[in-house]
Amino acid sequence: MPYLDYAASAPLRRDALEAMLPFLEAPAANPSSQHGPGRAARAAVEAAREQVAALVGARPDEVVFTSGGTEADNLAVKGTVLEREPGARHLVLSAVEHHAVLDAAAWAERDAGAKVELAAVDATGRVDTAALAGLLRPGVTALVAVMAANNEVGTVQPVAEVAELAHAAGAVVLCDAVQAAGLPGNDVTDGQLDLVAVGAHKLGGPTGVGALVVRKGVKLRPLAHGGGQERGLRSGTLPVAAIAGFGAAAAAALADRAGAAAGTLTALRDRLASARAAALPGLEVNGSPQGRAGLPGLLSVRLPGLLAEDALLLLDREQVACSAGSACASGAVQASHVLLAMGVDEAGARQTLRFSLGHASTEADVDAAVAAVTRVAAALIAGARS
């Protein structure tokens, strides 16, 4: 079955599975325990912490393990807001942030007295830095959130420029790098970012584990209290097997970045885009997925006149896995807030499919998907005319 939905979740890497197995097959041990099995579990956790830190250019003691990217984003947003005085809880977010950031900010506005403003993006989904700068309020803006690259259309954001503007206003910078951390050319932690969210399953690790990189000196109010694990920022017994798998996936992703993975993914994406354009005249590309402006391996396209939900149903029958925008919203197909923010109308947003490639993708996957999409589009067009 051609799997073209890596942006939703990547298949588990063999390296990650092998790292997890010893902790799944042996008796469970708490890494906070002082006996031999507990120390072995702690050693695995700390080794994985070093691997995740290396991927994002951080120090190991800056990595706080969480249950995934969503919890990492929530800890970043809510923890920053609650640490600030009531009069200094102003948040500025790009309009195309993941719902984990947007909804956490909505909570902060509703329940913690924060003020939230959205920075506009252009037609490619790139944040307008001049508009963002105009929203900043020195001494009042607590946090600025701009993701490394958009999970729906692949557009890479100007995070370094945003960070410079935000720091000049005294704000903390959050970068959701869940989609981009494992991809070549998107090492977003160059010392300018304060909070970076990462998720294991986008890298080929297990679901249910992620991390928030918290730069030294950045203060957060913890949201979970208990045993004081993870520097007191995220209490709870650590899932050793999942964390070991996360570390192995991070190491594999880092190795990919040093090799030819980027070129391979770009070539596969371009093969996909060219074949689709030839087979489906009128197909439109969302965002800026070409060249350095977008993530390799991600292609968002509109099929004019065809509903994405109808196409997804038929593609599933053809055994092709892809999605309509983000798969994180609830499983429902609805107009994407990202596409609407880019100026795409609701009809166009509902005609959009997202195809995403990754570490195990092949030319055969791409060619099979192109053939299936061509058949599906022909069937839908024929049905519409009858």
Task: Point out the residues that are catalytic.
Answer: 328
CA angle 124, 178, 127 (to 5 degrees): 25
Beginning with the edge strand found earlier in the chain, give each strand of the sheet holding 115-119 in spatial order: 63-66, 210-214, 195-199, 172-176, 141-145, 90-94, 115-119
User: Is the CB of residue 53 less than 8 Å from the CB of residue 196?
Assistant: no
Q: How far does CA 15 lie from the centroid of its chain?
A: 21
Number of neighbouring beta carbons within 10 Å of residue 383: 11
Residue 301's DSSP bridge partners are 285, 353
CA distance 386 to 382: 6
**Tokens encoding 296:** 């390799």
Could you tell me where the beta strands, DSSP code E, fall in the chain?
63-66, 90-94, 115-119, 141-145, 172-176, 195-199, 210-214, 284-285, 298-302, 352-356
What three-state secondary structure class fits 370?
helix
Task: Tell me the helices (H) and strands (E) count for the chain, helix number first.
Answer: 12, 10
**Alpha-carbon distance values, 104 to 72, 74, 100 (Å):** 11, 6, 6
Q: Which residues pair with 146 in a beta bridge?
A: none
User: Helices 308-317 & 363-385, crossing angle to 10 degrees?
Assistant: 120
Q: Do the beta carbons of residue 273 and residue 299 sit within 8 Å?
A: yes
Amino acid, res. 153: V
DSSP conformational letter for 5: B
